[in-house]
Structure 1
Amino acid sequence: MANWTTYINEYQNYLKLERGLSINTIENYSFDIEKLTAYLTENQIDVSPITITEEQIQGFIYHIASLVNPRSQSRIISGLKSFFTYLVFEEYRKDMPMELIEVPKTGRKLPDTLSTEEIDLLIGAIDLTSMEGERNKAMLETLYSCGLRVSELVTLKISDLFFEEGFIKITGKGNKQRFVPIGSSTQKFITIYKEQVRSHITIQKGYEDTLFLNRRGKQLTRAMVFTIIKDLVKKINLQKNISPHTFRHSFATHLLENGADLRSIQLMLGHESITTTEIYMHLDRKHLAQVMETFHPRGSK
């Protein structure tokens, strides 16, 4: 089951650094996956998280149904759905093997999204008198206005900034590149940081082209960005579970709410498949039915 271990470890890192979940919650999620791997081992089913089929997962669900109460069963299914959603989201899998597996209704909460007012409050709470203030402001503005993954933010290069054209070049999952629009106000914050702060840092060899640097002149870690955001959340006493991922999710949510089409959002987020964007946006079939009814000539009766 070594193959499973690798994917589970990556998933745990994602939950911790990009979703900001507690160690206890992460352990619960991992426990659900371990139940599945134990079942596979016991039944000598040799599959990886990438090759396991819907039928094999369904077999496991039937197995646990006879062992645990409906509430526990619901939690295990939710935990597995989260894991396989992550695999689709990261483009390890093309399909979602749990799409048709029903979860008993227990009121699932969607991840927190920030309003534009809350984003302004968070960014407004940054101490601009500190060395890192202008950098943090430029970083959070870029996270939100370009919808970047935190890994894309920390690896962003100066040579990837095409301000005259109004785009930045992003290298995403599997070294796939995309151009994302960047607004003039975000360009201004990056320029201020670059000219007034970054120019005074002693840059370590190999990081000359890295845009956002720590005080030692090296690339920031994802964990550092997470900590910066957590401290700001505490500072304004915001009662939400916020992480770098929240800015990306808010970017996409606000675009959708203001009438952007899914295809455009897909391109900006860098999702290979529109199915990934649907999962990411938590779109249910009701939404798609409304789109059909509103925009298709045969949609409304």
Structure 2
Amino acid sequence: MSQDTVLIEQFLDSLWLERNLAENTVQSYKLDLQALVKSLQRQEETILSAQTMHLQDFLMQRVQEGYKATSSARLLSAIRRLYQYLYREKYREDDPTAPLASPKLPKNLPKDLTENQVEALLQAPSTAEPIDPVELRDKAMLEVLYATGLRVSELVGLEINDVSIRQGVIRIIGKGNKERLVPLGEEAIYWLEYYFKYGRDDLLKEGPVDVLFPSRLGKKMTRQTFWHRIKYYAILAEINVEALSPHVLRHAFATHLLNHGADLRVVQMLLGHSSLSTTQIYTHVATERLKKLHQQHHPRA
């Protein structure tokens, strides 16, 4: 194992222990830093010998390869944290990332669905006789997702013990291992009970598992698989797939709550955002929709 690899592993361990970052974030950092090491090797440099110009060359190369500003920003964040760690632990006497400017990010609003589009998406899975356990599972997943605003990773990671049908709540372990309780609502509870009664057991081909929504093989579903399922139902519902994202129902959950008068801090708590500023972007979505409605229907718009 090279010295660069050892340093990266030590850094990632410290991130996990001290910052309590989600596993997905740590893995993203690892891939970014492995790409940095390869670039430095081509320049005959290492993490400890690299200077600002070497890091600039790497970042410029990524831009030329067509990476978006958001990807470059995340990459620079990973590199900054690495060198701050190396400086703090006295592996280096300087921080070569200090002169680097962060890329300007476009203020992209979350992709949003109207309430009618959400209703069409929720109705897309077939629940008619004979019951298809996969479609019934997907129906329950979509209903839970829209009712709770979970992240997709939180949804596919749910276990049986995380759900209390009697209390009507779901327990989420979110980013940074922070726990929150989110109410389910009557519709989601109904479809969960229906799924437990008529669908879930048929998916458990390899025996009992704790995961709430198992795959066709009776194992934990991946985020990618569920994203493919969302796109499939979007096509059935005649929704433009280009207008979707994996978190489209999470975004709709937040925007529709705000449209109906929910308090921003309540939405923040339900979404599991550590900062209110992260939640505030959904107020912009709601405002944009109000502007469009005003332009369409007001006689002097």
TM-score where L is the length of structure 1: 0.61
Counterpart CA distance in 2 for 1:116 and 1:140 is 14
Question: Which amino acid counterpart does residue 120 of structure 2 have in structure 1?
Answer: L
Deviation of the 1:135 alpha carbon: 0.9
Distance in 2 between the 1:77 and 1:158 partners?
A: 39
Distance 1:85 1:269 in 2: 24
Shift of 1:283: 6.7
Change (3 A) 1:260 1:181: same
What amino acid is aligned across from residue 72 of structure 2 in structure 1?
Answer: L
Deviation per CA, 1:185-218, whole angstroms, max 9, x where unpaired?
A: 10001100110111344453561x3221223222
Matched AA of 2:221: L
- How far the C-alpha of 1:249 sits from its partner, in A, is 1.8
Q: Provide the C-alpha distance between the structure 2 equivalents of 1:248 and 1:85, rounded to a whole number of angstroms.
A: 25
Contact 1:11 1:83 in 2 (8 A): no
By how many angstroms is 1:140 displaced? 0.6
Aligned residue in 1 for 2:212: 211
> By how many angstroms is 1:12 displaced?
11
Which residue matches 1:121? 120
Question: Helix, strand or coil: the match of 2:261?
Answer: coil
- Counterparts of 1:56-205 in structure 2 under 5 Å? 78-81=70-73, 109-129=108-128, 130-205=132-207
Residue type of the alignment partner of 1:220: M
Pick the structure with greater CA Rg.
2
The alpha-carbon distance between structure 1 residues 84 and 148, as it changes in their structure 2 partners (threshold 3 A), is farther
Give 1:179 deviation, angstroms.
0.7
**How many angstroms apart in 2 are the aligned matches of 1:84 and 1:195?**
49
CA pair 176-237 structure 1, distance change in 2 beyond 3 A: same
Q: What residue number does 2:244 align with?
A: 242
Rate the CA distance shift 1:157–1:203 in 2: closer, same or farther, 3 A.
farther
Give, in whole Å, the separation in 1 of the partners of 2:196 and 2:148: 18
Amino acid at match of 1:252: A
CA RMSD of aligned residues (A): 4.8
Q: State how far apart, in whole Å, the 2-side matches of 1:102 and 1:258 are.
A: 37
- Aligned-partner Cα distance in 2 for 1:284–1:45: 42
Partner Cα separation in structure 2 for residue 225 and residue 279 of structure 1: 25
Displacement of 1:281 after TM fit? 4.4
Amino acid at match of 1:128: T
Matching residue's letter, 1:127: S
Deviation at residue 183 of structure 1 after TM alignment: 0.1
Q: Measured at CA, do residues 76 and 184 of structure 1 come closer, stay the same or move farther in structure 2, by a change above 3 Å?
A: closer
Deviation at 1:155, TM superposition (A): 1.9
TM-score (norm 2): 0.61
Deviation at 1:256, TM superposition (A): 2.6
Residues 90-113 of structure 1: CA distance to partner in whole angstroms, max 9, x if unpaired?
A: xxxxxxx9xxx79779x7543311
**Kept after mapping to 1: 8 A contact 2:164/2:170:** yes
Q: Report the equivalent of 2:268.
A: 266
1: CA distance, partners of 2:161 / 2:248: 27
Deviations 1:25-70 (A, max 9, x none): xxxxx99x979x969x999886xxxxxxxxx9xx88xx79xx99xx
Q: Contact (CA 8 Å) 1:203, 1:218: kept in 2 or not? A: no
Q: Secondary structure at 1:152's aligned position in 2?
A: helix
* Cα deviation, residue 150, structure 1: 1.2
- 8 Å contact from structure 1 (residues 85, 279) kept in 2: no
Matched residue pairs, number?
243
Letter in 1 for 2:185: G
Query: What is the alpha-carbon distance in structure 1 between the residues aligned to residue 141 and residue 107 of structure 2?
Result: 31
Cα distance in 1, alignment partners of residues 47 and 186 from structure 2: 55
Compared CA separation, residues 221 and 86, structure 1 to 2 (3 A):
farther
**Residues 85 and 261 (structure 1), Cα distance of their counterparts in 2 relative to 1, 3 Å cut:** farther
* 8 Å contact kept, 1:156–1:210: yes
What are structure 1's unaligned runs of at least 5 residues?
15-29, 47-55, 88-96, 288-301
The Cα shift of 1:176 comes to: 2.6
